[in-house]
């Protein structure tokens, strides 16, 4: 397991000055008491940030018992119920409406931020054209990384995957477990799409993708930045390293991408996915085959997982597109 401290190797003199950056409200959406230990670890890590947030908001997604438990355990945290329909998008929108700071950051309830997470996350906002900044997520596997699990598909478990930039870069969209936006940008926008994304444990997604694309379509010159030094660990539960979850999540991703294409247009929704499918994945398959030739049997398993995962994702996209056409 990689420690959050592992990416904080920059000398103190190279870190951004706190005085030059805006205040940040951190929103954490919660929905189940099964993640209580993760929630507690996350709250403690937010308190220990080298650049503390101005406030932390916990939004309970139609979970009254959990809401009261968080209120009792963390009296300095603002705890609110989801004011919209059940689901992650509406919960995030509730947090946006309640936030009081210039920047609104989002962290998953099973993510653990590095001590300097916020320090690096807000640094790119010195550029007035930057409207959103996201960071990297490293998988915290239940035991160790499964030999068959290809790094190109780490997005299946909500983490940074092979193919993303390795240094600060402009990108199309952010990753939901580790992202931030200017509050005024969100105020001028309808927010996270309620009809897209995760509800409970249903493995849908792409709500942040749709929002980022929509922001760039409406704001000429808007820049969305990926800063890999703003790092969180994202816990991977045992059920998420099984083949059935891998296939279900890939299929759901395809279905979600079809919804995004419906909202923002196929070209913007799939431009990066085409490059991923025709460049990143073939390299992964070739690398796996070469590794197998070199005596590493896991290479062949990873190559097979890439092909199967791609097929499941395409199937999900196709099925959702056909359903829409028949309506």
Predicted local distance difference test score (pLDDT) of residue 4: 36
Asked whether the predicted pLDDT for residue 13 surpasses 90, the reply is no
* Residue 261 pLDDT class (50, 70, 90 cuts): confident
**Average pLDDT value for residue range 38-63:** 97
Q: Does position 14 have pLDDT exceeding 60, yes or no?
A: no
CB 306 within 8 A of CB 284: yes
313 has pLDDT over 80:
yes
* Concatenated DSSP letters of 191-217: -S-TTSS--TT-----HHHHHHHHHHH
Does pLDDT of 12 surpass 50?
Answer: no
pLDDT given at position 184? 93
The mean pLDDT of 53-74, rounded to a whole number, is 97
Q: If pLDDT is split at 50, 70 and 90, which confidence band does 324 have? A: confident
Output 6 or 22, whichever has higher pLDDT. Answer: 22
Stretch 146-173: mean pLDDT: 95
Report the alpha-carbon distance of residue 70 to residue 167 in Å, rounded.
Answer: 36
> Residue 121 domain-assigned?
yes
82, 198 contact by CB (below 8 A): no
For range 82-95, the mean pLDDT: 93
106 part of a folded domain: yes
Instruction: Report the DSSP beta bridge partners of residue 225.
Output: 133, 170
Q: Which two tokens stand for residue 226?
A: 């990926």
d(CA 106, CA 56): 10
Which H or E run includes 170?
Answer: strand 169-170
Q: What is the mean pLDDT of residues 59-68?
A: 96
Q: What is the mean pLDDT of the segment spanning 12-24?
A: 56
Whole-number pLDDT of residue 54: 97
Residue 268 confidence (pLDDT): 81
Confidence of residue 327 (pLDDT cuts 50, 70, 90): low
**Is residue 89 one of the residues assigned to a domain?**
yes
Kindly tell me if the per-residue pLDDT of 287 is higher than 90. yes
The per-residue pLDDT for 248 is: 94
User: What are the tens digits of pLDDT across the range 207-255?
Assistant: 898 899 989 988 889 999 999 999 999 999 999 999 999 999 999 999 9
Determine the Cα angle at 166 with ends 296 and 130, to 5°: 155
User: Does residue 85 sit within a domain?
Assistant: yes
Q: What is the mean pLDDT of residues 201-212?
A: 75
Residue 218 included in any domain? yes
Residue-level pLDDT at 16: 43
Q: DSSP assignment of 266-297, as one string?
A: HHHHHHHHHHIIIIIHHHHHHHHHHHHHTT-H
What one-character DSSP code corresponds to residue 120? H
- pLDDT more than 90, % of the chain: 74
* Domain CATH for 72: 3.90.550.10
Whether the per-residue pLDDT at 26 is higher than 90: the answer is: yes
Q: Which domain holds residue 109?
A: 4-239
- For residue 219, the model assigns a pLDDT of 87
Query: What's the rounded Cα separation, in Å, for the pair 207 and 212?
Result: 9
Instruction: Name the pLDDT band for 141 (thresholds 50, 70, 90).
Output: very high
248 in a structural domain: no
Number of domains in the chain: 1
The overall average pLDDT reported for the chain is 89
Predicted local confidence at residue 196, as pLDDT? 64
Is pLDDT above 70 for 5?
Answer: no
Count CB atoms within 10 A of the CB of residue 158: 24
Closest Cα to residue 66, out of 82, 55, 54? 82
Residue 43, burial from CB neighbour count under 10 angstroms (0-12, 13-18, 19+): buried
Q: Which carries the bigger pLDDT value, residue 227 or residue 2? A: 227
Which of 8-12, 163-167, 248-252 shows the lowest per-residue confidence on average (mean pLDDT)?
Answer: 8-12
Residue 115 lies in a domain: yes
In a domain, residue 261? The reply is: no
């Amino acid at each position: 397991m990689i420690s959050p401290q592992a990416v904080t190797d920059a000398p103190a003199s190279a870190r951004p000055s706190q005085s030059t950056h805006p205040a940040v409200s951190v929103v954490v959406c919660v929905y189940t008491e099964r993640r209580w230990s993760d929630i507690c670890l996350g709250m403690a890590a937010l308190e220990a940030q080298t650049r503390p947030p101005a406030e932390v908001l916990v939004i309970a997604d139609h979970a009254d018992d959990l809401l009261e438990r968080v209120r009792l355990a963390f009296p300095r945290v603002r705890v609110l119920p989801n004011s919209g329909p059940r689901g992650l998008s509406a919960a995030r929108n509730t947090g946006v409406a309640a936030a009081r700071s210039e920047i609104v950051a989002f962290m998953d309830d099973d993510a653990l931020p590095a001590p300097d997470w916020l320090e690096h996350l807000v640094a790119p906002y010195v550029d007035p054209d930057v409207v959103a900044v996201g960071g990297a997520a490293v998988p915290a596997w239940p035991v160790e990384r499964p030999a068959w699990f290809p790094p190109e598909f780490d997005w299946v478990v909500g983490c940074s995957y092979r193919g993303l930039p390795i240094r600060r870069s402009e990108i199309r969209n952010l990753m939901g477990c580790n992202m931030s936006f200017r509050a005024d940008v969100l105020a001028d926008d309808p927010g996270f799409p309620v009809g897209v994304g995760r509800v409970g444990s249903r493995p849908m997604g792409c709500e942040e993708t749709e929002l980022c694309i929509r922001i760039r379509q409406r704001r000429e010159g808007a820049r969305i930045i990926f800063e890999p030094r703003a790092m969180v660990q994202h816990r991977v539960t045992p059920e998420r390293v099984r083949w059935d979850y891998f296939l279900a999540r890939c299929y759901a991703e395809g279905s979600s991408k079809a919804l995004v294409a419906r909202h923002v247009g196929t070209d913007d929704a799939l431009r990066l996915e085409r490059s991923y499918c025709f460049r990143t994945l073939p390299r992964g398959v070739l690398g796996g085959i070469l590794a197998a030739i070199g005596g590493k049997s896991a290479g062949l398993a990873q190559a097979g997982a890439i092909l199967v995962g791609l097929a499941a994702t395409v199937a999900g996209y196709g099925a959702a597109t056909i359903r829409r056409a028949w309506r």
